[in-house]
């Protein structure tokens, strides 16, 4: 009986179209705190209460303290072997789409190209007045950064809870989930919607679905393959013996 890793390796070598959905777990070994792990709290705030438009409305300085804390932390971190292996995998698959829930920018740093950042990007800020988007890698944006064009407040260009995803990016993610032969989810608790529904879309469209995670999730029972282990070890293993 072939084990899960062998079945997934074989499917990847034959596939013309592969989609991958990543979550906070793929960045955990880089030192980026996950949302629901023990380190999911910041200064005894619940992240879920800070990553909302209401929190920004009520106390923009507190929300900026939270995001500046994440920016300065992540600015000192780098991608890990799992990010690197996905960038390598992309070069070997004719049509490869990386859909990420993460806003840390580590996939691009590792060399991935076709990335759909469905929850935005921590290194982009957006003006609440004129909607200008600026890429800014400064670790700390200050307590109430302003737009250089119109003086409006700047906010992190990320999708907060209760906000809709960019419709174009969401459509591309759905298309990539429905058209792939293999869909792999890596390091996601499969709780946040609509991201979590993408793997089910792939399954409904007949793709081979695989989950890579430290532990089983609410999706495990629906996946064809469940590979339990650290992303930093399991994902590079997909390339083994594939010259
Ligand atoms: C929307 C950006 C329409 C911000 C993020 C009730 C039921 C169902 C849905 C809802 C509901 N009420 C509200 C909703 C919708 C809500 C939602 O899904 N809520 C959840 C909590 C139930 N969704 C939304 O609001 C979305 N918008 O639906 O729009 C709409 C419009 C108006 C009103 C209603 C609806 C927007 C969601 C986007 C939120 N923004 N990020 C920021 O980052 O600051 S989500 C945030 O959580 C991150 O992006 C993160 O990636 C994401 C999901 O978490 P995971 O990535 O899965 O990470 P997590 O910590 O949970 O799990 C880590 C996993 O890794 C674990 O399984 C662990 O075992 C594993 N792991 C750890 N280490 C490793 C590992 N695996 C392998 N190796 C390791 N080393
Ligand atoms: Zn502006």
Which tens digit of pLDDT belongs to each residue from 209-243? 999 999 999 999 999 999 999 999 999 999 998 87
Nearest-atom index, ligand 1, CA of 230: 78
Q: Give the number of other Cβ atoms within 10 Å of residue 28's Cβ.
A: 20
Is-catalytic flag, 219?
no
Residues 6+ apart with CB under 8 A from 33: 24, 39, 40, 42, 73
Give the closest residue (by CA) to ligand 1 atom 66.
189
Please count the other Cβ atoms lying within 10 Å of the Cβ belonging to residue 59.
13
Which of 188, 216, 194, 195 minimizes the C-alpha distance to 27? 188
Q: Would you tell me the crossing angle of helices 167-179 and 197-204 to the nearest 10 degrees? A: 40
Cα–Cα distance between 178 and 66 in angstroms, integer? 36
Q: How far is the CA of 61 from the centre of ligand 2 (A)?
A: 18
* Domains present along the chain, CATH in parentheses: 4-32+79-119+165-239 (3.40.50.1220), 37-76+128-158 (3.30.1600.10)
Best CA proximity match to 176, nearest among 99, 113, 118:
99
- How many A from CA of 191 to the centre of ligand 1? 6
Find the mean pLDDT for residues 95-112: 98
Q: Whose CA is nearest to atom 34 of ligand 1?
A: 162
Rg (CA), the chain: 18
| Lining residues, ligand 1, CB within 6 Å | 23-25, 28-29, 34-37, 51, 101-103, 119, 158-164, 187-189, 191-194, 213-215, 217, 230-231
Which ligand does the CA of 125 lie closest to?
Answer: 2
Q: Identify the band that residue 126 occupies on the pLDDT scale cut at 50, 70 and 90.
A: very high
- Give the integer Cα–Cα distance in Å for 177 and 200: 9
Catalytic residue, from 83, 107, 119, 157: name it: 119
For residue 227, the ligand closest to its alpha carbon is 1
Q: How confident is the model at residue 118 (pLDDT cuts 50, 70, 90)?
A: very high
Position 122 pLDDT exceeds 90: yes
């Amino acid at each position: 009986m072939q084990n899960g890793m062998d079945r997934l390796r074989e499917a990847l070598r034959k596939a013309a179209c592969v989609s991958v959905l990543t979550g906070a777990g793929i960045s955990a070994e880089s030192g980026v705190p996950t949302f629901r792990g023990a380190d999911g709290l910041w200064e005894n705030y619940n992240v879920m209460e800070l990553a909302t438009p209401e929190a920004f409305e009520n106390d923009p300085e507190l929300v900026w303290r939270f995001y500046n804390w994440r920016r300065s932390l992540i600015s000192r971190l780098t991608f890990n072997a799992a990010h690197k292996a996905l960038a390598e995998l992309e070069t070997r698959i004719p049509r490869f789409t990386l859909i990420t829930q993460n806003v840390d920018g580590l996939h691009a740093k590792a060399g991935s190209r076709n990335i759909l950042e469905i929850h935005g990007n921590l290194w982009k800020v957006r003006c609440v007045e004129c909607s200008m988007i600026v890429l800014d890698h400064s670790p700390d944006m200050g307590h109430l950064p302003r737009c250089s064009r119109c003086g409006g407040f700047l906010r992190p260009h990320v999708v907060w809870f209760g906000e809709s995803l960019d419709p174009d990016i969401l459509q591309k993610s759905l298309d990539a989930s429905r058209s792939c032969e293999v869909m792999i989810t890596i390091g996601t608790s499969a709780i946040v919607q609509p991201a979590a529904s993408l793997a089910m879309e792939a399954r409904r469209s007949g793709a081979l679905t695989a989950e890579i995670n430290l532990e089983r999730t609410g999706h495990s029972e629906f996946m064809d393959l469940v590979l339990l282990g650290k992303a930093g070890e399991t994902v590079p293993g997909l390339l083994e013996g594939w010259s």
